[in-house]
Amino acid sequence: MAAKKQQTHVKRARELRVKERRERKRATKAERSIAAQGAPTNGHDSGAFPDTPEDESAAGMAPAEAR
């Protein structure tokens, strides 16, 4: 069995750091965008779907198999 080169581990670690940094940057931009629109940032009371009930049974929606 051949051993992996140390460079492979370093490259993977660097790629992972870059990926995580990009994800954090996207999240920050999304939060700033929401804040600029004046919506709450706690996630639960975002108002994205105000007419949608949280429980499907409250909306009278049955599973597709039951119809």
Report pLDDT for 56. Answer: 55
What's the token pair of residue 49?
Answer: 């779907």
Phi, psi of 46 (to 5 degrees): -70, -25
The band of 27, judged by pLDDT with boundaries at 50, 70 and 90, is very high
Residue 25 lies in a domain: yes
Residue 54 lies in a domain: no
Residue 5 lies in a domain: yes
Q: What's the rounded Cα separation, in Å, for the pair 10 and 59? A: 52
**2-26, pLDDT tens digit by residue?**
666 778 999 999 999 999 999 999 9
Say how far residue 17 (Cα) sits from the centre of its chain: 18
Mean pLDDT to the nearest integer, 35-63: 61
Please tell me the pTM assigned to this model: 0.46
Q: How many structural domains comprise the chain?
A: 1
- At 58 the three-state DSSP class reads helix
Residue 12 lies in a domain: yes
Question: What range defines the domain where residue 24 resides?
Answer: 1-33
**In terms of DSSP H, where are the helices of 1-67?**
6-37
